[in-house]
Structure 1
Amino acid sequence: MTQNLEHPRLLIEYLQEKAVFVGKEERLIKSTELPKHPLNKCIASVSLLAYVVISKYCDGLPLYGLELILQRYGGEVTRTSMANWVIRLSLELQPLINLMREHQLSYDYLQMDETRIKVLKEPGKSPSSDKWMWVSRGGPPDEPVVLFDFDPSRSKELAARLLDGFEGFLQCDGMGSYDAIWHSKGLKQLGCFDHLRRKFVDAQKGAKVLKKKVKRGSPVKHTWA
């Protein structure tokens, strides 16, 4: 095999062992099974697929950025190809996601939060509008499971769907979408200490502003709850 040094190519070889058993009347050939690839007729190795998924979802690297990174190493993998791989992988990995969901809901403690993300081509949404990645963490303490669910909204219907089948303690930030779920599903509400701390920080900032107004002789309006 010749190799162009200006445009090097990586040759991946899969070695399959074979054994020949010779008998008196026949010969029997047995071969070991080749490692199965999750995507049929896909040029990407399993390691490359794992790298794309981790870069996109764990490191927050968009596919167009990953395309440029691979180009620096001499790769010719387009963002369209990588997007198709991710879509096909999502279908193949759905049974695993379902199993992880069941494992997560088997314990009586669950954490949930929503994080703003930007999506360039979301139908009916502008690139600058907020979309949400719902993150849930739960399961036995020694075997926790973290799942990510994307949705353009923070609706109570989505929260109800993600919490379907869960019974126990739910720890979240107290967003309004959860209000209709606590009693209907019989969940026990746990607060978030980080969000609680923010209220004390806001109170401290408000006290400083009030103190400045008093010193300047400005009228102070009190609002009583």
Structure 2
Amino acid sequence: MEVTTTAHSSDGVQPIVCFTSDEPAPFAQETIIITKQQDIEQRCRINYLEAQQIRDKAKIKALEEEIILKDAKINDLNKRLFGKSSEKSKKQNSEKNTNNSDQAPKRNRGQQPGSPGHGRTNRPNLPLVHAAPLDLPDEQKKCPDCGLPHIRKPELDKQSDVIEVEVKAHTRRYSRPAYTRNQGCTCDNHLPTIITAPPPPTLIPHSSYDVSFWVEAILNKYRYGQPANRYLQGLQDLGCPVSPGTLAGGLKNLAHLFDPILEALYIRQMGEKIFHNDETRWEVFVEIEGKVGSRWYLWVTRSQSVIFYCIDPSRSATVPGAHFAGLQNDLVIIICDRYSAYKKLARLADNIILAFCWAHVRRDFLDAGRAFAELNEWGLDWKERIGNIYHLNKLRLEHWNPELPLSEQSKQFTQCQQTLQDALQRMHDEASKGIMQDNNKQQSKSQASKRSNSAQIKQKKVFKACLIIGRDSPYLSKTQMCRWIII
């Protein structure tokens, strides 16, 4: 028996399906007849859906990668916020009284211009130490024209009090005998009516503080790192109250006395060949035109014999560029982190080679391992390799004689040197291999770490005869007891 089944199109005119069979036929044996227009429409629809599917898959893949990166950022932020940190400090509440900030203009710190001063502070409780009298020289005890001697007038003697700080604060009083002109002296030489020796010299003219006071202040503030307020509190406990303005103004007036020393230290440092550099933010509450906020930067340059500090409102390459403009050697090495200002400095100066810090590279691998769970083992593996470099360098430095050049070191040192170079070569080969494998993949943080490590090794010219300095750098901000490797 023959059965014919006909299905009509949506417009009810053209049949689109027709097959004849005694029994239900499989789909492979059924025949579908459609018009050319319907075929074109179906193909266009299929192509559209396929293109839409490709776009949706790409969008889903991009969203999945974005989720992975966001999860990594969350892990990193959680580590920074809740992880252990030796530099973590409590937040200060800077939003107090913000509602009243617009009611009155902000006034400058310290004593206001035009306000009356408090005068010199009386210190009646300080013990009085009498010094040797400051008398006139014999040739000044007589008239310079006629030679008649001046008449001694003890009742007109002048007193000069100078405050000194030794073990305990005291006032040192100098007695200056007074003289008047002889009655028989009629010379017109403009001598004063009362003639005495001049007051004792002080560092700051017309100041009542002697050299010992300023020596103590400078040592406590800059040598021992004691805050000025705490130092003034100590003086008050000794019975010698000093106002903060007196200390600040005195130190400002003494600054120019150190210019020759600063110049000599700078010239000495520029004659050396190896430098450690770093910078950190530094709050300076000084308003300058074009500068917003109080954030300045403290730059430090350390060589073998000099530590040079510079406070500047800028963090650009112009600051180290100006400092190293006076280099006296044809080739120097600057040990630093990978901050872009140092890279620009090396590009502009042909006599500067950068040696990057292994501690910063090690930190990148640890951050990648913490952010991406699948990279944890890989990051720890690189951490062990870098740790082995530290260990080999430590063994090498045990045989290092700083008085001999590299070519004349002992046999033990040469062996340790070769072992270290072999380890660095293996590390370089492994890093290059990892980069080659990732060349055709989408770049991620792990790939950035590998590329950063390789770029560092290339820029440091690894695997040549090298000198590795094992020197702790506790003076650098946020990096204590950090060993640097110079290649």
Q: Please report the TM-score for the alignment, with normalisation by the length of structure 1.
A: 0.68
Equivalent residue in structure 2 for 1:155, among 316, 323, 331? 316
- Partner in structure 2 of residue 22 of structure 1: none
**1:185–1:114 Cα change, 3 Å:** same
Partner amino acid, structure 1, of 2:323 = L
- Partner in structure 2 of residue 46 of structure 1: 211
Alpha-carbon distance in structure 2 between the residues aligned to 1:130 and 1:146: 22
Equivalent residue in structure 2 for 1:169, among 333, 350, 354? 333
Q: In the alignment, is residue 83 of structure 1 matched against residue 257 of structure 2?
A: no
Q: CA deviation at 1:43?
A: 3.2
Calculate the aligned-residue CA RMSD, in Å: 3.4
**1:5–1:170 Cα change, 3 Å:** closer
Alpha-carbon distance in structure 2 between the residues aligned to 1:200 and 1:48: 52
Partner amino acid, structure 2, of 1:94 = D
Alpha-carbon distance in structure 2 between the residues aligned to 1:88 and 1:5: 24
Alpha-carbon distance in structure 2 between the residues aligned to 1:36 and 1:5: 21
Alpha-carbon distance in structure 2 between the residues aligned to 1:108 and 1:201: 32
Q: In the alignment, is residue 200 of structure 1 matched against residue 388 of structure 2?
A: no
Alpha-carbon distance in structure 1 between the residues aligned to 2:267 and 2:130: 37
Q: In the alignment, is residue 179 of structure 1 matched against residue 340 of structure 2?
A: no
CA contact (8 A) 1:133 1:151 kept: yes
Partner amino acid, structure 1, of 2:340 = G
Q: Deviations over 1:5-63 (max 9, x none)?
A: 973256485799xxxxxxxxxxxxxxxxxx98654444334343233334334554443
Greater radius of gyration (CA): 2
Q: CA deviation at 1:131?
A: 1.7
Query: Match of 1:93, SS?
Result: helix
Task: Flag the structure with higher helix content.
Answer: 2
Q: In the alignment, is residue 136 of structure 1 matched against residue 254 of structure 2?
A: no
CA contact (8 A) 1:132 1:154 kept: yes
Query: Match of 2:326, SS?
Result: coil
Q: CA deviation at 1:203?
A: 2.6
- Partner in structure 1 of residue 355 of structure 2: 190
Moved more, 197-206 or 148-157: 197-206
Q: CA deviation at 1:146?
A: 0.8
Alpha-carbon distance in structure 2 between the residues aligned to 1:122 and 1:64: 22
- Partner in structure 1 of residue 472 of structure 2: none
**1:177–1:11 Cα change, 3 Å:** farther
Alpha-carbon distance in structure 2 between the residues aligned to 1:14 and 1:204: 74
Alpha-carbon distance in structure 1 between the residues aligned to 2:286 and 2:215: 24
Alpha-carbon distance in structure 1 between the residues aligned to 2:374 and 2:234: 48
**1:14–1:89 Cα change, 3 Å:** farther
Equivalent residue in structure 2 for 1:7, among 125, 134, 139? 125
- Partner in structure 1 of residue 38 of structure 2: none
Q: CA deviation at 1:96?
A: 0.7
CA contact (8 A) 1:38 1:92 kept: no
CA contact (8 A) 1:110 1:137 kept: yes
Alpha-carbon distance in structure 2 between the residues aligned to 1:68 and 1:11: 24
Query: Match of 1:148, SS?
Result: strand
Alpha-carbon distance in structure 2 between the residues aligned to 1:108 and 1:50: 33
Q: CA deviation at 1:69?
A: 3.3
- Partner in structure 1 of residue 238 of structure 2: 73
**1:193–1:222 Cα change, 3 Å:** closer
- Percent identity of paired positions between Structure 1 and Structure 2: 24
- Partner in structure 2 of residue 27 of structure 1: none
Q: Please report the TM-score for the alignment, with normalisation by the length of structure 2.
A: 0.34
Unaligned runs of 5+ in 1: 17-34, 212-220
Partner amino acid, structure 1, of 2:326 = G
Query: Match of 2:249, SS?
Result: helix
Alpha-carbon distance in structure 1 between the residues aligned to 2:130 and 2:267: 37
Q: Deviations over 1:64-96 (max 9, x none)?
A: 443333223222222211112222222111011
Alpha-carbon distance in structure 1 between the residues aligned to 2:361 and 2:131: 57
Partner amino acid, structure 2, of 1:170 = I
Alpha-carbon distance in structure 2 between the residues aligned to 1:209 and 1:55: 52
Alpha-carbon distance in structure 1 between the residues aligned to 2:358 and 2:216: 35
Matches within 5 A, 1:101-120: 101-120=266-285
Alpha-carbon distance in structure 2 between the residues aligned to 1:12 and 1:171: 56
Q: Deviations over 1:137-187 (max 9, x none)?
A: 11xx4xx11111111221211121111122411111121122221032220
Alpha-carbon distance in structure 2 between the residues aligned to 1:96 and 1:82: 22
Q: Deviations over 1:188-224 (max 9, x none)?
A: 111123323322331332244977xxxxxxxxx9736
Q: CA deviation at 1:125?
A: 4.4
Q: CA deviation at 1:116?
A: 2.0
Query: Match of 2:338, SS?
Result: coil
Alpha-carbon distance in structure 1 between the residues aligned to 2:130 and 2:244: 22
Alpha-carbon distance in structure 1 between the residues aligned to 2:358 and 2:272: 22
CA contact (8 A) 2:281 2:297 kept: yes
